[in-house]
Amino acid sequence: MPYFRKFFVNCLALSLIAINSHADGLTIDIVKSSNNTTPIAIVPFVNDPASESLNSIISDDLARSGLFVPAKQFPERPSSSSEFVFPVWQVLGLDYVVVGKVSPNENNQSTIQYELVSSSQEKRLLGESMTIPATRWREAAHFISDRVFKYITGIDGSFSTRVAYVLQYTSEGKIRYRLDIADADGHQPRSILDSDEPILSPSWSPDGQNIAYVSFEGGKPAIYTQNLATQQRQIITKFKGLNGAPAWSPDGSKLALTLSQDGNPEIYLFELANKKLTRLTNHYAIDTEARWFPDGRALIFTSDRGGNPQIYRLDINTQDVKRLTFEGSFNGRGAISPDGRYLAMVHRRSGQNFQIALQDLQTGGVTRLTDTPLDEAPSFSPNSQMIVYATKQGAKGVLGIMSLDGRFKLQLPASDGQVREPAWSP
Amino acid sequence: MLDKKVPLAVFISLALAMGGCSTLKGKKAEEMADQNYPQGQGVQDANSATGADTNSLSEQERLKAEALAEQQRLAEQARLEQERLKAEAASMLATRLVHFDYDSSDLSSQDQRVLQAHAQYLKANTQAKVLLSGHADERGTREYNMALGERRANAVQAFFVSNGVKSSQLDTVSFGKEKPLNNGSSESAWAENRRVEIGYQQGAPR
């Protein structure tokens, strides 16, 4: 923090202390930054190895949510609540402090103890201990982030989730494609499909055990599902024409998908148990990119039936179609937030930019969240707090993560190649 | 190849026909000359007759030569025209791309000429097969662009079918925006990428 700001905060904190000491007890108002974010201090855990430290993973997690501002400097480094000198924290307005320590165990395991402490209340709020192998190090950090996040905000954390995405890379002069799954912070990617032909549109099953996607292996597009534990694959559809945009239903029983076997692209439902195929749309325009409402009773999809691509709502039972988007010349690749409140989409108003925009499903108000030229494939975190999307850094395709108000944005660590088509796990 | 044989055949038959006519004409003139001047008359008579005939004969020769030259000139023109058409057809057949405006699957008149050449080729070579692959530029979303690429490939396929090509010779696929020819983000890069590729799977024109 620049010196004058620190001074100001100190003065403010002191003045607050001064006021409150006249009242009963000593209650300190937490100094929040103007963006409604909460300051928090994640102190380096004692005995934590230098690279990939727990406190840095936790700090990055909380910062990425857009709701926290992790402190970069600490007045002291306690390892537990009993070691605190509370006034030095109170004076800085840092109420929430996370501390901990790491102890090595036999069998190459570690025991991690952490505590969430309130310096204003001068007590520990939350604390746990866990014993883990080295391979689950990052998982342990994300677990602590989830716990701290939930305690303070009341919202479930999404830090232990994953993101699937497509990577286009070059090998021996040839272009190849991979479907990878990484942690929600971009780390620890693993590949579940490697192909010499394009891969598109990954979609998670609601239990997180399977992924559906489009693969052009063999030269023509087909829809596959793949089990992430066994890596077993199944062909879902491989009709003449398009086989595209698979979307797993919230109850796990069906896939919405796009087929053009009847002459032009339409939305179909494929029931996984009995392989029954039902056509839902019936229009000569392009109808594609179906996604589900969280109650499973309706879909959104992209259609150019009105002249240019817009997003429509389709009732599963009645097959009634209702237009949802009215601003801009292009609205497509919609996604509904798991809490049902928002529609995220690729949106173009005037000019050339294809941006991520958010439409409030109750008020209809549209907010543009990005201002880069070619953004796509927005996907919500399971707690509806964050959006992952595909964007470009110069000519390179990368993934971005942002808070729902678009104010906090971060690019995920870039792999060698072009990254796109992200899908946030349940 | 059919294209090669036609002009050659035309030329040969024309040449033969014209050669034949000349020969016929020449013979008739000689016969007439013999008939006018009966055999056995005095050598002098024969000589004077030959002298007069020599003049008309030279004239006939000259006319004959001119007619022949004119016919050869016409034959040459026809041959050159055939060569030009053949080269144009070959150039059309060598063109394996047609292009489109933004968000459109309409074919320009130049593209239709190219496709006509391929249609004629496919009708004359029924063992040839093409895969029409449709593509879009990078703007817009991936699955929507898949549908747009398919619309373009279908437009080319429909053009072929309506021009008499058998549908068993045609196949289509869309790659949307997955396989750009030009990775740039300019108007010209986008124009290059909005295309259908005519890919001969077998029986390609040489």
From CA A244, how far away is CA A19, in angstroms rounded?
64
How many Å is the maximal CA-CA distance in chain B? 105
Average pLDDT over residues A179-205: 95
CB atoms A302 and B142 under 8 Å: no
> How far is C-alpha A181 from the geometric centre of its chain's CA atoms?
13
Amino acid letter, residue A425: S
Span A386-399, average pLDDT: 91
User: At the fourth CATH level, which superfamily is domain A3-153?
Assistant: TolB, N-terminal domain (3.40.50.10070)
Return the pLDDT at A52.
86
What is residue A414's predicted lDDT score, i.e. its pLDDT? 64
Whether A216 has a pLDDT exceeding 50, the answer reads yes
Q: Could you tell me the maximum CA-CA distance found in chain A, to the nearest angstrom?
A: 79
CA A182 vs CA A125, A223, A402, A403, B196: distances in Å: 31, 22, 17, 19, 36
In A, minimum Cα distance to B172 occurs at: A241
Say if CB A157 and CB A146 are below 8 A apart. yes
Pairing status of strand B97-99 against strand A174-183: unpaired
Angle subtended by helix axes A54-64 and A137-153, to nearest 10 = 40
Give the pLDDT confidence of A282-306 residue by residue, as tens digits: 999 999 999 999 999 999 999 999 9
Identify the residue among B142, B174, B190 best suited for mutation to test binding to A, counting A beta carbons within 10 A and taking the highest.
Answer: B142
Provide φ and ψ at B96, rounded to 5°. Answer: -115, 15
What is the pLDDT confidence band of residue B8, given thresholds at 50, 70 and 90? low
pLDDT recorded at residue B32: 46
Which chain B residues touch A245 with a CB distance below 8 Å? Answer: 143
Subunit contact A288:B143, Cβ cutoff 8 A: yes
What is the pLDDT averaged over residues A158-187?
94
Q: How confident is the model at residue A17, as a pLDDT? A: 33
User: From the centroid of its chain, how far is CA B170?
Assistant: 23
Give the confidence band of A410 by pLDDT, cuts at 50, 70, 90.
confident
* Chain A: closest CA distance from residue B2 (Å): 33
- Evaluate if residue A24 carries a pLDDT over 80: no
CA distance A30 to A13: 9
Q: What is the mean pLDDT of residues A135-158?
A: 96
* The pLDDT of residue B86: 87
Q: Which residues of chain A have a Cβ shorter than 8 Å from any chain B Cβ?
A: 198, 200-201, 216, 219-221, 241-242, 244-245, 258, 260, 265, 286, 288-289, 302, 304, 308-309, 330, 332-333, 346, 352, 354, 373-374, 376-377, 395, 420-421
Stretch (H or E) spanning A317: none
State the pTM of this model: 0.81
For chain A, the straight-line distance linking the first and the last C-alpha, in angstroms and rounded, comes to 37
The answer to which of A23-37, A113-127, A182-196, A242-256 has the lowest mean pLDDT is A23-37
Rounded CA separation A69/A62 (Å): 8
Domain ranges of chain A: 3-153, 162-424
Asked if A286 and B138 come within 8 Å (Cβ–Cβ), the reply is no
Average pLDDT over residues B174-192: 96
Output A301 or A403, whichever has higher pLDDT. Answer: A301
For residue B52, the model assigns a pLDDT of 57
Quick one: which of B189, B121, B124, B131 has its CA closest to B157? B131
Higher-confidence residue of A215 and A415: namely: A215
Per the structure block, which two tokens stand in for A323?
């237009």
- Res A21 pLDDT > 50: no
Average pLDDT score over residue span B92-112? 94
Cβ–Cβ below 8 Å for B175 and A373? no
Nearest by CB to residue A260, choosing from B142, B150, B178, is: B150
Least Cα separation, residue A273 to chain B (angstroms): 26
Q: What fold is seen in the domain B96-202?
A: 60s Ribosomal Protein L30; Chain: A; (3.30.1330)
Average pLDDT over residues A380-395: 93
Q: Give the closest residue to B169 by CA, choosing from B159, B153, B157.
A: B157
Mutate to test the interface with A, among B144, B190, B201 (most CBs of A within 10 A): B144
Determine the Cα–Cα distance for residues B127 and B73; give it in Å rounded to an integer. Answer: 39
Q: Which tens digits make up the pLDDT trace of A311-359?
A: 999 999 999 999 999 999 999 999 999 999 999 999 999 777 999 999 9
The per-residue pLDDT for B20 is 46
Confidence of residue B40 (pLDDT cuts 50, 70, 90): very low
Domain ranges of chain B: 2-92, 96-202
DSSP character at residue B40: T
Tell me the pLDDT of chain A averaged across its residues.
Answer: 90
Subunit contact A333:B143, Cβ cutoff 8 A: yes
Question: B173 and A421 in contact by Cβ < 8 A?
Answer: no
d(CA B104, CA A286): 13
> Which of A261, A288, A376 would you mutate first to test chain B, the one with the most B CBs within 10 A?
A288
Q: How confident is the model over A383-392, as a mean pLDDT?
A: 94
- Within 8 A of A423 by CB-CB distance, chain B residues are none
Q: Which residues of B touch A376 (CB under 8 A)?
A: 141-142
d(CA A283, CA A19): 69
Report the residue from A201, A308, A374 with minimal CB separation from B143.
Answer: A201
- A373 contacts B144? CB cut-off 8 A: no
| pLDDT class of A50 with cuts at 50, 70, 90 | low
C-alpha span between A416 and A244 (Å, rounded): 27
Phi, psi of B130 (to 5 degrees): -120, 150
ipTM for the whole complex: 0.87
The burial of A164, by beta-carbon neighbours within 10 Å (0-12 exposed, 13-18 middle, 19 or more buried), is given as buried
Q: With beta carbons under 8 A apart, name residues in chain A contacting B177.
A: none
Check: CB of residue A423 under 8 Å from CB of residue A380: no
Of the segments A129-138, B47-56, B121-130, which one has the largest average pLDDT value?
B121-130
Please give the full DSSP string across A112-179, using - where no structure is assigned. EEEEEEETTTTEEEEEEEEEEEGGGHHHHHHHHHHHHHHHHHSSPP-TT-EEEEEEEEEETTEEEEEE
Q: What percent of chain B shows pLDDT beyond 70?
A: 73
* Average pLDDT score over residue span B1-22: 48
* A162-424 CATH: 2.120.10.30
Strands A68-70 and A38-42: parallel
Number of A/B CB contacts below 8 angstroms equals 77
Contact B143 A258 (CB under 8 A): yes
* The pLDDT of residue A106: 84
| A84 contacts A78 by C-beta, under 8 angstroms | yes
CA distances from B109 to A255, B99, B112, B115 (A): 42, 11, 5, 10
For residue B146, give the nearest of A286, A392, A212 by alpha carbon. A286
Q: A89-103, B34-48, B57-71, B75-89 — which is least confidently predicted?
A: B34-48
For residues B107 and B155, is the Cβ–Cβ distance under 8 A? Answer: yes
Q: Are A13 and A88 in contact (CB under 8 A)?
A: no
